[in-house]
Structure 1
Amino acid sequence: MLQIRPTCEHCNKSLPFDSEEAMICTFECTFCKDCVELLHHICPNCGGGFEKRPIRPKTLLHKYPVSIKEIHKPVDLKTHYIKFKIK
């Protein structure tokens, strides 16, 4: 079951359960579309790619609540670009 994290790890933008802007990697690191573009579609935590996060139906929120834990770890873009050889 996906956690459905509430914010972008980089910019801390709100990404509610029904956000069309939420992107995740294979480990559920969560970023907004704008930050994924800044990161050149490479997860700074695992090096994997991103996909659009599925939307959990409202009817399932009571039985399967979304995460309320915010993870805010702004990425040092210079280091990210060097690490993943981005120009």
Structure 2
Amino acid sequence: MRPNCESCARDLPPDGEAYVCSYECTWCAACRNGFPGPACPNCGGDLQRRPTRVVRPADG
């Protein structure tokens, strides 16, 4: 998963709200809400909420 928004470069934490398309274009919710339609502006793919990544403690 990409660590930041492709539009505004905002850091996207693993458990935060972000959107991705089938080509893994990645957007924060604020930028996504500014798009004129439901498709990715880069590739035209369907945008969906990015699944969260479970943060596991380091082995020690």
Indicate whether the TM-score tops 0.5: yes
For 1:16 and 1:5, the matched residues in 2 are separated by: 10
Segments of structure 2 that go 5 or more residues without pairing to the other structure are none
TM-score by length of 1: 0.58
For the aligned residue pairs, the C-alpha RMSD in angstroms reads 1.7
- What count of residue pairs does the alignment treat as equivalent? 57
* 1:9-52 deviation line (CA, Å, top 9, x unaligned): 00111101111x21101111000111111113221111012111
Superposition pairs for residues 39-78 of structure 1, below 5 Å? 39=35, 40-59=37-56
Aligned partner of 2:22 in structure 1 is: 26
Identity of aligned residues (%): 44
Question: Looking at CA atoms only, which structure, 1 or 2, has the larger radius of gyration?
Answer: 1
Higher helix share: 1
